[in-house]
Amino acid sequence: MSVFYQTHRLALSAVTIALLIFGAIGSVEADYKTGERAVMMGDYPTALKNFREAAAQGHPKAQFELGLMYEQGDGVKRDFAEAAKWYRKALANGHELAARALRRVTPFGVAENSQNAATAPVSRRKTEVPDGTLTVQRGGLTSEPVSPSAGYSKKFEALHLRPLSESPLILPDLKAKIKDLPPPYLYELARRTFDIDKREAFVWFLTGYLRAAYDASKCTDRTAGQGILQLPNLAPRVSRALFADKAYAKKIMKEALERERAFPEDSNPSWICFHGMKAMVAAM
Protein backbone atom coordinates (compact mmCIF):
# COMPACT_ATOMS: atom_id res chain seq x y z
CA MET A 1 0.00 0.00 0.00
CA SER A 2 1.48 3.38 -1.04
CA VAL A 3 2.56 6.02 1.50
CA PHE A 4 0.20 8.51 -0.18
CA TYR A 5 -2.71 6.12 0.12
CA GLN A 6 -1.95 5.36 3.79
CA THR A 7 -1.68 9.09 4.54
CA HIS A 8 -4.91 9.77 2.66
CA ARG A 9 -6.76 7.03 4.56
CA LEU A 10 -5.49 8.26 7.94
CA ALA A 11 -6.47 11.85 7.16
CA LEU A 12 -9.88 10.78 5.90
CA SER A 13 -10.44 8.59 8.96
CA ALA A 14 -9.54 11.41 11.37
CA VAL A 15 -11.83 13.89 9.64
CA THR A 16 -14.65 11.36 9.40
CA ILE A 17 -14.55 10.57 13.11
CA ALA A 18 -14.46 14.26 14.00
CA LEU A 19 -17.43 15.11 11.78
CA LEU A 20 -19.44 12.01 12.59
CA ILE A 21 -19.03 12.08 16.36
CA PHE A 22 -18.28 15.63 17.42
CA GLY A 23 -19.52 17.89 14.60
CA ALA A 24 -18.06 20.87 12.77
CA ILE A 25 -16.60 24.10 14.20
CA GLY A 26 -18.04 27.57 13.64
CA SER A 27 -21.34 29.02 14.80
CA VAL A 28 -23.54 29.24 11.67
CA GLU A 29 -21.91 26.30 9.92
CA ALA A 30 -22.10 24.31 13.17
CA ASP A 31 -25.86 24.92 13.34
CA TYR A 32 -26.22 23.71 9.76
CA LYS A 33 -24.06 20.64 10.33
CA THR A 34 -25.98 19.78 13.51
CA GLY A 35 -29.22 20.03 11.57
CA GLU A 36 -27.78 17.92 8.77
CA ARG A 37 -26.79 15.15 11.15
CA ALA A 38 -30.15 15.35 12.91
CA VAL A 39 -31.98 14.80 9.62
CA MET A 40 -29.75 11.81 8.94
CA MET A 41 -30.83 10.34 12.28
CA GLY A 42 -34.51 11.24 11.87
CA ASP A 43 -34.39 13.81 14.69
CA TYR A 44 -36.51 16.43 12.95
CA PRO A 45 -37.14 18.76 15.94
CA THR A 46 -33.37 19.23 16.36
CA ALA A 47 -32.93 19.62 12.61
CA LEU A 48 -35.67 22.24 12.42
CA LYS A 49 -34.22 24.25 15.31
CA ASN A 50 -30.68 24.30 13.94
CA PHE A 51 -31.65 24.88 10.32
CA ARG A 52 -33.76 27.85 11.44
CA GLU A 53 -30.85 29.34 13.37
CA ALA A 54 -28.48 28.96 10.43
CA ALA A 55 -31.09 30.10 7.90
CA ALA A 56 -31.72 33.28 9.91
CA GLN A 57 -28.05 34.12 9.30
CA GLY A 58 -28.45 33.67 5.56
CA HIS A 59 -27.03 30.14 5.22
CA PRO A 60 -28.36 29.01 1.79
CA LYS A 61 -28.08 25.27 2.44
CA ALA A 62 -30.00 25.60 5.71
CA GLN A 63 -32.67 27.64 3.91
CA PHE A 64 -32.90 24.97 1.24
CA GLU A 65 -33.20 22.22 3.86
CA LEU A 66 -36.02 24.09 5.58
CA GLY A 67 -37.81 24.28 2.26
CA LEU A 68 -37.38 20.56 1.82
CA MET A 69 -38.67 19.83 5.32
CA TYR A 70 -41.83 21.82 4.67
CA GLU A 71 -42.24 20.32 1.22
CA GLN A 72 -42.02 16.74 2.49
CA GLY A 73 -43.59 17.26 5.93
CA ASP A 74 -40.50 16.20 7.83
CA GLY A 75 -41.30 16.98 11.47
CA VAL A 76 -43.64 19.81 10.47
CA LYS A 77 -47.05 20.16 8.89
CA ARG A 78 -46.55 19.96 5.15
CA ASP A 79 -46.81 23.49 3.78
CA PHE A 80 -45.87 24.21 0.17
CA ALA A 81 -46.19 27.97 0.64
CA GLU A 82 -43.70 27.88 3.52
CA ALA A 83 -41.44 25.61 1.46
CA ALA A 84 -41.55 28.11 -1.40
CA LYS A 85 -40.60 30.94 0.99
CA TRP A 86 -37.44 29.16 2.09
CA TYR A 87 -36.56 28.04 -1.43
CA ARG A 88 -36.79 31.69 -2.55
CA LYS A 89 -34.41 32.72 0.23
CA ALA A 90 -32.00 29.94 -0.73
CA LEU A 91 -32.21 30.98 -4.38
CA ALA A 92 -31.48 34.60 -3.49
CA ASN A 93 -28.37 33.41 -1.66
CA GLY A 94 -27.11 31.40 -4.61
CA HIS A 95 -28.26 27.82 -3.95
CA GLU A 96 -28.05 26.09 -7.33
CA LEU A 97 -30.92 23.65 -6.77
CA ALA A 98 -33.40 26.13 -5.27
CA ALA A 99 -34.88 27.29 -8.59
CA ARG A 100 -35.88 23.78 -9.57
CA ALA A 101 -37.28 23.08 -6.10
CA LEU A 102 -39.27 26.31 -6.22
CA ARG A 103 -40.85 25.36 -9.54
CA ARG A 104 -41.75 22.01 -8.01
CA VAL A 105 -43.79 23.40 -5.12
CA THR A 106 -45.19 26.71 -6.38
CA PRO A 107 -48.09 25.28 -8.47
CA PHE A 108 -49.47 23.42 -5.47
CA GLY A 109 -49.04 25.97 -2.70
CA VAL A 110 -52.66 27.13 -2.59
CA ALA A 111 -54.20 23.67 -2.89
CA GLU A 112 -51.88 22.09 -0.34
CA ASN A 113 -52.75 24.64 2.33
CA SER A 114 -56.48 24.72 1.75
CA GLN A 115 -59.21 22.62 3.35
CA ASN A 116 -59.26 20.61 0.14
CA ALA A 117 -55.63 19.56 0.47
CA ALA A 118 -56.57 15.95 -0.06
CA THR A 119 -57.58 16.79 -3.65
CA ALA A 120 -54.29 18.49 -4.52
CA PRO A 121 -52.82 17.20 -7.82
CA VAL A 122 -49.62 15.92 -6.17
CA SER A 123 -49.42 14.08 -2.88
CA ARG A 124 -46.13 13.82 -1.00
CA ARG A 125 -46.03 11.95 2.28
CA LYS A 126 -43.51 9.81 4.08
CA THR A 127 -44.32 6.25 5.03
CA GLU A 128 -42.32 3.65 6.86
CA VAL A 129 -42.22 0.03 5.84
CA PRO A 130 -41.88 -2.63 8.57
CA ASP A 131 -38.05 -2.62 8.61
CA GLY A 132 -37.95 1.15 9.05
CA THR A 133 -36.83 2.19 5.56
CA LEU A 134 -38.27 5.59 4.70
CA THR A 135 -39.94 6.12 1.34
CA VAL A 136 -41.79 9.06 -0.19
CA GLN A 137 -45.09 8.66 -1.99
CA ARG A 138 -45.95 10.95 -4.89
CA GLY A 139 -49.41 10.59 -6.38
CA GLY A 140 -49.67 7.05 -5.06
CA LEU A 141 -46.26 5.99 -6.38
CA THR A 142 -43.55 5.09 -3.89
CA SER A 143 -40.11 6.53 -4.59
CA GLU A 144 -36.70 5.38 -3.45
CA PRO A 145 -35.31 6.33 0.01
CA VAL A 146 -32.08 7.57 -1.64
CA SER A 147 -31.76 9.45 -4.93
CA PRO A 148 -30.40 7.56 -7.97
CA SER A 149 -27.48 10.02 -8.07
CA ALA A 150 -26.42 8.71 -4.64
CA GLY A 151 -26.20 5.09 -5.71
CA TYR A 152 -29.82 3.88 -5.74
CA SER A 153 -29.59 1.95 -9.01
CA LYS A 154 -32.20 -0.41 -10.42
CA LYS A 155 -29.98 -3.35 -9.52
CA PHE A 156 -29.64 -2.13 -5.94
CA GLU A 157 -33.38 -1.47 -5.71
CA ALA A 158 -34.15 -5.05 -6.72
CA LEU A 159 -32.06 -6.26 -3.78
CA HIS A 160 -33.28 -3.63 -1.32
CA LEU A 161 -36.95 -4.42 -1.93
CA ARG A 162 -36.58 -8.12 -1.24
CA PRO A 163 -38.14 -8.89 2.17
CA LEU A 164 -35.97 -9.19 5.26
CA SER A 165 -37.22 -12.74 5.68
CA GLU A 166 -34.96 -13.62 2.73
CA SER A 167 -31.85 -12.20 4.44
CA PRO A 168 -30.43 -15.61 5.47
CA LEU A 169 -30.37 -16.50 1.76
CA ILE A 170 -29.05 -13.11 0.64
CA LEU A 171 -26.29 -12.47 3.18
CA PRO A 172 -23.75 -15.17 2.20
CA ASP A 173 -23.65 -14.06 -1.44
CA LEU A 174 -23.69 -10.37 -0.50
CA LYS A 175 -20.75 -10.78 1.88
CA ALA A 176 -18.78 -12.72 -0.73
CA LYS A 177 -19.11 -9.90 -3.26
CA ILE A 178 -19.11 -6.89 -0.92
CA LYS A 179 -15.58 -5.64 -1.67
CA ASP A 180 -16.48 -5.28 -5.35
CA LEU A 181 -19.75 -3.41 -4.74
CA PRO A 182 -20.33 0.32 -4.10
CA PRO A 183 -20.99 1.53 -0.50
CA PRO A 184 -24.82 1.46 -0.64
CA TYR A 185 -24.50 -2.33 -0.53
CA LEU A 186 -22.61 -2.03 2.77
CA TYR A 187 -25.62 -0.22 4.24
CA GLU A 188 -27.84 -2.96 2.84
CA LEU A 189 -25.58 -5.53 4.48
CA ALA A 190 -25.91 -3.65 7.78
CA ARG A 191 -29.71 -3.50 7.44
CA ARG A 192 -30.03 -7.23 6.82
CA THR A 193 -27.57 -8.12 9.59
CA PHE A 194 -29.22 -5.96 12.27
CA ASP A 195 -31.71 -8.53 13.56
CA ILE A 196 -29.04 -11.24 13.57
CA ASP A 197 -26.01 -9.45 15.05
CA LYS A 198 -26.37 -5.78 15.99
CA ARG A 199 -22.68 -5.12 16.63
CA GLU A 200 -21.77 -6.59 13.25
CA ALA A 201 -24.46 -4.44 11.65
CA PHE A 202 -22.97 -1.32 13.26
CA VAL A 203 -19.51 -2.16 11.93
CA TRP A 204 -20.83 -2.69 8.40
CA PHE A 205 -22.82 0.56 8.62
CA LEU A 206 -19.75 2.61 9.58
CA THR A 207 -17.60 0.79 7.04
CA GLY A 208 -20.13 1.90 4.45
CA TYR A 209 -19.79 5.48 5.65
CA LEU A 210 -15.99 5.34 5.43
CA ARG A 211 -16.04 3.81 1.96
CA ALA A 212 -18.57 6.37 0.77
CA ALA A 213 -16.46 9.23 2.15
CA TYR A 214 -13.36 7.78 0.49
CA ASP A 215 -15.08 7.49 -2.90
CA ALA A 216 -16.55 11.00 -2.60
CA SER A 217 -13.06 12.37 -1.92
CA LYS A 218 -12.09 11.23 -5.43
CA CYS A 219 -14.78 13.34 -7.15
CA THR A 220 -13.60 16.56 -8.79
CA ASP A 221 -16.89 18.19 -7.73
CA ARG A 222 -16.65 18.24 -3.94
CA THR A 223 -20.40 18.87 -3.54
CA ALA A 224 -20.92 15.24 -4.56
CA GLY A 225 -20.03 14.27 -1.00
CA GLN A 226 -23.36 15.62 0.23
CA GLY A 227 -24.96 12.53 -1.27
CA ILE A 228 -23.46 10.26 1.37
CA LEU A 229 -25.69 11.91 3.97
CA GLN A 230 -28.66 10.21 2.30
CA LEU A 231 -27.24 6.72 2.69
CA PRO A 232 -28.32 6.13 6.34
CA ASN A 233 -31.90 6.21 5.00
CA LEU A 234 -31.11 2.77 3.61
CA ALA A 235 -30.70 1.40 7.14
CA PRO A 236 -32.52 3.79 9.51
CA ARG A 237 -32.96 1.31 12.35
CA VAL A 238 -29.22 0.70 12.40
CA SER A 239 -28.53 4.44 12.29
CA ARG A 240 -30.89 5.28 15.13
CA ALA A 241 -29.59 2.49 17.36
CA LEU A 242 -25.93 3.26 16.67
CA PHE A 243 -26.04 7.00 17.26
CA ALA A 244 -28.12 6.72 20.40
CA ASP A 245 -24.75 6.20 22.14
CA LYS A 246 -21.98 8.35 20.64
CA ALA A 247 -19.28 6.84 22.84
CA TYR A 248 -20.19 3.39 21.59
CA ALA A 249 -20.26 4.66 17.99
CA LYS A 250 -16.73 6.00 18.44
CA LYS A 251 -15.57 2.64 19.80
CA ILE A 252 -17.16 0.73 16.92
CA MET A 253 -15.59 3.17 14.44
CA LYS A 254 -12.13 1.82 15.25
CA GLU A 255 -13.20 -1.64 14.15
CA ALA A 256 -14.82 -0.21 11.03
CA LEU A 257 -11.57 1.57 10.14
CA GLU A 258 -9.69 -1.72 10.28
CA ARG A 259 -12.29 -3.43 8.12
CA GLU A 260 -12.34 -0.62 5.58
CA ARG A 261 -8.56 -0.84 5.09
CA ALA A 262 -9.03 -4.33 3.64
CA PHE A 263 -11.08 -2.93 0.75
CA PRO A 264 -9.41 -2.15 -2.61
CA GLU A 265 -7.98 1.35 -3.05
CA ASP A 266 -8.86 1.53 -6.75
CA SER A 267 -12.64 1.70 -6.22
CA ASN A 268 -14.80 3.40 -8.85
CA PRO A 269 -16.39 6.58 -7.38
CA SER A 270 -18.78 7.24 -10.28
CA TRP A 271 -21.75 6.04 -8.20
CA ILE A 272 -21.47 9.19 -6.00
CA CYS A 273 -19.73 11.68 -8.32
CA PHE A 274 -22.95 12.09 -10.32
CA HIS A 275 -24.53 13.56 -7.18
CA GLY A 276 -22.42 16.71 -7.51
CA MET A 277 -24.24 19.98 -8.11
CA LYS A 278 -22.42 20.54 -11.40
CA ALA A 279 -23.75 17.26 -12.73
CA MET A 280 -27.27 18.04 -11.49
CA VAL A 281 -27.30 21.55 -12.95
CA ALA A 282 -26.01 20.20 -16.27
CA ALA A 283 -28.90 17.74 -16.33
CA MET A 284 -31.57 20.42 -15.85
pLDDT tens per residue across span 259-279:
999 999 899 988 888 765 454
Looking at 3.40.1390.10, 3.30.420.280, 2.30.40.10, 1.25.40.10, the CATH number of the domain 1-122 comes to 1.25.40.10
Q: Is 174 helix (H, G, I), strand (E, B) or coil?
A: helix
Is the CB of residue 37 less than 8 Å from the CB of residue 226?
A: no
**Is it the case that residue 112 has pLDDT exceeding 50?**
no
Tell me the domain boundaries of the chain.
1-122, 123-284
Q: What is the pLDDT of residue 148?
A: 74
Least confident of 68-77, 121-130, 231-240: 121-130
Spatial separation of the C-alpha atoms in residues 145 and 229, rounded to whole Å: 12
Q: What is the pLDDT of residue 21?
A: 44
Backbone phi and psi for residue 142, each to the nearest 5 degrees, phi listed first: -90, 125
Spatial separation of the C-alpha atoms in residues 255 and 277, rounded to whole Å: 33
Q: In sequence order, which residues have a C-beta less than 8 Å from that of residue 182 and are 6 or more positions away?
A: 151, 215, 267, 268, 271, 272
Average pLDDT over residues 116-128: 36
